[in-house]
Amino acid sequence: MSEKRERTIFLSDCQSFYASVEKATHPGLENLPVVVAGDPARRSGIILAACPIAKSSGVSTAQRLGEALQLCPNAIVMRPHMQRYIDVSLAITDIYKEYTDLVEVFSIDEQFLDVSGSLKHFNCSPEKLAIMIQKKVAASMNIRIRVGIGPTKILAKQATDNFAKKNANGIFTLGKDDVERELWPLTVDKMYGVGSRMTRHFVALGMTTIGHVARTPLATLKQKFRARFGKQSDIQAEVMWRTANGLDDSPVTPGTFDVMPKSIGHGMTLPRDYATAEEVDIVLLELTEEVCRDARAKGFTSGTVHVFCMCSPYDAPTGFSQQRKMPLCTNNTLKVYRSVREIFHRNWNGLPVRKVGVTLGSLADEEVTQLDLFEDVTKVRELDRVVDGIKDRFGSTALIRASSLMKAGLAVDRAGKIGGHYR
């Protein structure tokens, strides 16, 4: 049996993507410090992206706008244009498809490329192919990309995050033989999938570097995780161990987001703390309207609904995350809202609310619907379709519930946004 051929995987990342798109759209900003903020009118808004010039002054992603402006007073603050970023991302993905048909979208500014079969066609090394793609994206979109190269997706990702982003040419190769020398000395927070909370757990276990995790026998790591997180943590321990060792058999899969979703959800951070149930009810109804409209557009009904709520204060939040099974599968807003409202009122602790979310689960094909003996499902569905059709044609605020016009309502403001940000 022939030995399995080692793959060549790229993880391409667009540098300071939102800020780079704004600069590409407005050439006069090329040599200026540009930041993109969630709400430029509020100094408490969050930095979504900062160009390298702004970063050189100490500005960082997720920093509060007021803090960023103290560090870089001459920063040009742009509001986000999400539809523009989506369009540019799709165009860049199309460029990648000129070099390989195995392109997997990982995020709006990151894509995996399996170029194993492309190297012979282009008669070049992985590094030279990466340079070719960099030049094509720069010439076509005026966007700089960084490329991590590895035999697995996880090594390509870690090559990008930890090395390519810091290299002058934006390219770095992390092979299996390089893991111990290059990856293992890094602090454990540099490992993919390890956030601040998991970092604290690893440090408490005496594992401060990626190498500490990698060199720990898997059985021992599972034992330590069980003692700390419970017996259900075996899978998490193995994922961390494999990540530290660069082990990953998963293929680059085009159309990852084309499969049937497991859930449909929307959430939001409220513009202020909502102190009364009446205020929160208005937003929950609006969120329910959004998720049900999405479900109807995709031809799904839902059997379960999940409600998330986070209460103030910000530095010591409380709240709940609960779901319940609905009597019948449905995508009707008012039917789902009954369950949403019941979950909220049963679990809310009475403290001011900062974040809320509604998610539909147990999705099923709308055409395979359990009948309701006491209601004509067809009439309800037809009415929903008429309302959705009007909104699709004239905008989501063409028809709006009266409650959304009250002070707590956010539907009108959110109508002009994608993912909570301006189009």
Exposure string (b/e) for 10-19, b if CB count within 10 Å is 16 or more? bbbbbbbbbb
Amino acid sitting at position 162: N
Amino acid sitting at position 103: V
DSSP string covering 340-406, please?
A: HHHHHHHH--SSPEEEEEEEEEEEEETTS-PPPTTS-HHHHHHHHHHHHHHHHHH-TTSS--GGGGS
What the block records as the tokens of 351 is 């403290």
- Is residue 261 within 8 Å of residue 249, measured between CB atoms? no
- CA distance linking residue 283 with residue 309, whole number of Å: 12
| Paired sense of beta strands 34-37 and 76-78, if any | parallel
CA distances from 89 to 12, 287, 341, 409 (A): 12, 27, 38, 32
| Cβ neighbours of 62 (radius 10 Å) | 7
List, in order, residues 6 or more apart from 242 with CB less than 8 Å away.
154, 248
Active-site positions? Answer: 110
Amino acid sitting at position 340: V
